Amino acid sequence: MTEGRKRIVSGMRSTGKLHLGHYFGVLANWKKLQNEYDSFFFIADWHALTTKFDSTETLADNVYNVALDWLSCGIDPNKSTIYVQSYVPQIAQLHIYLSMITPQNWVERDPTLKDMARALREGGHNDSQISYGLLGYPVLMTADIMMFNANYVPVGIDQVPHVELSRDIVRRFNNIYKTDFFVEPEPLLTQIPLMKGVDGNKMGKSFNNDIKISDDEKTTEKKIMSAITDRSRLRRDDPGHPEDCEVVYDYWKIFDSEEKVKEIDSLCRKGEIGCAQCKRELAQKVNEMLAPIRAKRKELENNPKLVKEILLEGSNKAQKEAQIILDKVKEVVRMY
């Protein structure tokens, strides 16, 4: 940790094994950012509870799997503070203080939260499953960020309304308790390629269209071979239309060089490469890129003690930092 660097905090809900959407959308970015910022990355198991409070049997396992994926993708405990949200109880205390000063209608109008509630209702959940804790989602997120007085919050565009609300809550806290100690955090948006699932929709675990970081090579190939290509092409030597082949062509652009994409483009248009061969080659490329990550994951899987130690050590480090901020919070609120 170098003094003087700006601080970032970001988290990911513990939903289980991660997929390529997480890799390209989040982890590749964090891996870069950890060299430039004083970085705090955490596994948001309390946030997972806001919707999964009634199915906790996989919760601890999910935390562990997320940690395995992060570490094998190069999130480095020597560069970043890596921790589990629930191992840092100071965050829950700060959440209490913030929940007192946050006007009810601020949380009620948070558009991302409205979307979450709508998705739950559409998924067959009734109103009793939309809890007080879920309504507090952005307030808890504010506690996550303010707990380390972060300057920036690297997130995807869907999370920006939450961070805007965090800014408002921090500003209000500073106003009410007449301090300028707490930083109004800013979202750190990055251009990220949207990773489609093999069926052309957004990649997601619940859509069953994802390629997991931890999938084996055979599974990866099978998933890629199932992708729908240019529907107008019936025979192998029919001229193809890469622009109508959204999944496979898009993946080529993510996984290989511009020259290779041009080569595939031209072979396809001339009918000189069939879709099956094209997908087989792509699968090979994807497997090649993931090989070192998967090897590292296997190594860590064989050493669960080490993974747990890393999480405990990171969480201890986070707790020390958090306690300093919590003391400051209690002092300005005049709890003592």
Can you give the binding site for ligand TRP, defined by CB under 6 A? Answer: 9-13, 44, 47, 141, 144-145, 153, 155, 159
| Residue 2: partners with Cβ closer than 8 Å, 6 or more residues away | 38
Pick the closer one to ligand TRP by CB: 47 or 233: 47
Report CA Rg, the chain.
22
Closer Cβ to ligand TRP, 117 or 283, answer by number: 117
CB of 160 to ligand TRP, least distance (A): 11
- Residue 17 vs 47, nearer CB to ligand TRP: 47
* Nearest distance from C-beta of residue 92 to ligand TRP, angstroms: 13
264, 229 Cβ separation under 8 angstroms:
no
Find the residue with minimal CB distance to ligand TRP. 11
For 186, phi then psi, to 5°, come to -115, 140
* Nearest approach, Cβ of residue 195 and ligand TRP (Å): 15
* Amino acid identity at 282: L
Length of the chain: 336
| Minimum separation from the CB atom of position 210 to ligand TRP (A) | 16
Ramachandran class of 41: left when φ > 0, alpha when ψ lies in -120 to 50, beta otherwise: beta
Q: Between 12 and 203, whose beta carbon lies closer to ligand TRP? A: 12
Least Å from the CB of residue 98 to ligand TRP: 13
Tokens coding 175: 């106003």
CA distance 314 to 307: 11
**Closest distance between ligand TRP and the C-beta of residue 141, in Å?**
4
Q: Measured from the CB atom, is 141 or 275 closer to ligand TRP?
A: 141
Q: Which is nearer to ligand TRP, 47 or 196 (CB)?
A: 47
Of 11 and 77, which has the nearer Cβ to ligand TRP? 11
Q: Which is nearer to ligand TRP, 11 or 314 (CB)?
A: 11
| Number of CB atoms found within 10 A of residue 54's CB | 8
Q: How far is the CB of 88 from ligand TRP (least distance, A)?
A: 12
**Minimum separation from the CB atom of position 169 to ligand TRP (A):** 13
Shortest Cβ distance from residue 85 to ligand TRP (Å)? 7
Tell the burial category of 208 from Cβ atoms under 10 Å away from its Cβ (0-12, 13-18, 19+): exposed
Measured from the CB atom, the residue of 138 and 240 that comes closer to ligand TRP is 138
Which residue's structure tokens are 């301090």?
A: 179
